């Protein structure tokens, strides 16, 4: 494509021809706010929050859709004209919905909130007209409050382009316009598979994890990156931990395998972690009943019995079955143990059955 020399906010920058202004700014550490833009989704340029001023052009242009095509292009990302346009957009969004952060679950992880703070908006100049949509609590996984929706379309593109489920779309027109599922059905009555991709990309509190509500504010949570153990794909997940308890799971945006995407089990199937019926200590069976034991005692007993069986009946009298809830590495160690230590190929996996 070739390189072009351009100037952004007084900085001389080498840019690849055809790259958008937003891409160039992000590569060079120049902050340009966005709302409808998401790196994993098709660029549409609808929110107009990323507008910049290009010298020689009468109109402001969206940085996410404008490619750099000529040498010497001069761009201003923080001129007063640009900042005033952004304030206008954000104030209109704030006036068109229920964006009271006091009781919003998205407080602390809301891009609209961050942008209002960045632009120092204390009060919108427009009268607030809340749409009064019904809140959808029809399923146990996704809480949908369209009164907080800014119609950025991220959820629509995520559903149609990334997951290709084609459940979510824009519905109606004008001031009645809103996001709909399957022709305006509740989530639970739609063909949604509840992968949660829409929740992952939503920039406000319009879509949140139902089970995570009131589980802890974002600033209270410690985020620990791990690997989903439901299958062998190896999706990267972020565990949101509050007071030692996992309150939410999100896909790791830069995860090598999944790039933030998860299935319904990986995103919402974490109740087993803290379930009251889950075993927390080893159990040893004696006289027809179980008793609690230490790990050393339990592992010692297993090692002793496996050794006795191997010596008495041979290696092939022993078989192993590993679990899809374990990581690939743990399953590898299991089969290595059976083959190299126990001397048998009698090893299988529950996901294959």
pLDDT digits (tens, 9 = 90+) for 74-123: 999 999 999 999 999 999 999 999 999 988 999 999 999 999 999 999 98
Chain segment 117-144, per-residue pLDDT in tens: 999 999 899 988 888 899 999 989 999 9
The counts of H helices and E strands in the chain are: 8, 16
Q: Report which of 77, 53, 71, 74 is spatially closest to residue 5, judged by C-alpha positions.
A: 71
Tokens in use for 238?
Answer: 């972020």
171-205 pLDDT, tens digit per residue, is 998 888 999 999 999 988 999 999 999 999 999 99
Reported as a pLDDT band with limits 50, 70 and 90, residue 323 is confident
Collapsed DSSP state (helix, strand, coil) of residue 304? helix
Tell me the angle at which helices 80-95 and 111-118 cross, rounded to the nearest 10 degrees.
140
Residue 235, classed as helix, strand or coil, is: coil
How far apart (Å, rounded) are the C-alpha atoms in residues 35 and 304? 61
Tokens (6 digits) for 124: 């919108």
pLDDT over threshold 90, residue 36: yes
Per-residue model confidence (pLDDT) at position 2: 79
The CA–CA distances, whole Å, from 156 to 131, 179, 255, 260 equal 20, 8, 22, 16
CB-neighbour burial class of residue 249 (10 A; exposed 0-12, middle 13-18, buried 19+): buried
Question: Average pLDDT over the chain, rounded to whole?
Answer: 93
Beta bridge partners of 130: none
Give the C-alpha separation, 293 to 265, whole Å: 32
Q: What is the pLDDT of residue 1?
A: 59
pLDDT for residue 132:
87
Measured between alpha carbons, how far is 149 from 163 in angstroms, rounded to an integer? 21
| Of 292, 107, 312, the residue nearest 216 (C-alpha) | 107
Residue pair 168/181 in contact (Cβ under 8 Å)? The answer is yes
* 318 band by pLDDT with thresholds 50, 70 and 90: very high
Confirm if 82 and 51 have CB atoms less than 8 A apart: yes
Q: How confident is the model at residue 329 (pLDDT cuts 50, 70, 90)?
A: confident
Q: Are 196 and 267 in contact (CB under 8 A)?
A: yes
Beta carbons of 4 and 68 less than 8 angstroms apart: yes
pLDDT of residue 353: 56
Domains of the chain: 3-78 (3.10.20.740), 131-274 (3.30.70.20), 283-352 (no CATH)
Task: Give me the torsion for CA of 337, 319, 234, 193, rounded to 10°.
Answer: -170
Residue 250, helix vs strand vs coil: strand
Token look-up 């000529």 returns 70
Which alpha helices (DSSP H) does 291-340 contain, by range? 295-313, 328-336
Q: Name the percent of the chain lying above pLDDT 70.
A: 99
Per-residue pLDDT for 324 more than 90? no
* 296 backbone dihedrals φ, ψ, rounded to 5°: -60, -45
Residue 253 confidence (pLDDT) above 70 = yes
Residue 35, classified by CB atoms within 10 Å of its CB into exposed (0-12), middle (13-18) or buried (19+), is buried
């Amino acid at each position: 494509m070739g390189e072009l020399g351009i100037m952004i906010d007084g900085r001389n920058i080498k840019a690849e021809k055809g790259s958008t202004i937003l891409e160039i700014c992000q590569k060079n550490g120049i902050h340009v706010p966005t709302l409808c833009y998401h790196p994993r989704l098709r660029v549409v340029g609808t929110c107009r929050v990323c507008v910049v001023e290009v010298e020689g052009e009468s109109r402001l242009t969206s940085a996410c859709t404008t490619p750099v095509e000529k040498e010497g292009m001069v761009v201003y990302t923080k001129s007063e004209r640009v900042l005033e346009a952004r304030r206008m957009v954000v104030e209109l969004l704030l006036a068109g919905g229920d964006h009271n952060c006091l009781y919003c679950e998205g407080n602390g992880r809301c891009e609209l909130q961050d942008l209002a703070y960045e632009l120092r908006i204390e009060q919108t100049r427009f009268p607030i007209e809340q749409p009064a949509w019904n809140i959808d609590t029809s399923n146990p996984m996704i809480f949908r409050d369209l009164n907080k929706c800014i119609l950025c379309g991220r959820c629509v593109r995520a559903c149609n382009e990334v997951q290709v489920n084609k459940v979510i779309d824009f519905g109606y027109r004008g001031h009645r316009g809103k996001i709909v599922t399957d022709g305006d059905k509740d989530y639970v009555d739609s063909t949604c598979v509840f992968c949660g991709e829409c929740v992952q990309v939503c920039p406000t509190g319009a879509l949140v994890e139902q089970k995570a509500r009131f589980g802890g504010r974002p600033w209270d949570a410690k985020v620990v990156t791990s690997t989903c153990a439901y299958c062998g794909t190896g999706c990267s997940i972020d565990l949101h931990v509050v007071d030692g308890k996992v309150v939410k799971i999100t896909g790791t945006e830069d995860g090598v395998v999944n790039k933030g995407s998860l299935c319904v089990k990986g995103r919402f199937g974490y109740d087993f972690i803290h379930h009251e019926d889950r075993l927390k200590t080893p159990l040893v069976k004696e006289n027809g009943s179980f008793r609690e034991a230490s790990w050393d005692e339990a592992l010692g007993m297993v090692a002793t019995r496996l050794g006795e069986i191997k010596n008495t009946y041979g290696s092939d009298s022993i078989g192993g079955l590993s679990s899809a809830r374990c990581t690939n590495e743990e399953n590898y160690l299991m089969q290595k143990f059976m083959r190299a230590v126990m001397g048998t190929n009698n090893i299988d996996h529950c996901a294959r059955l």
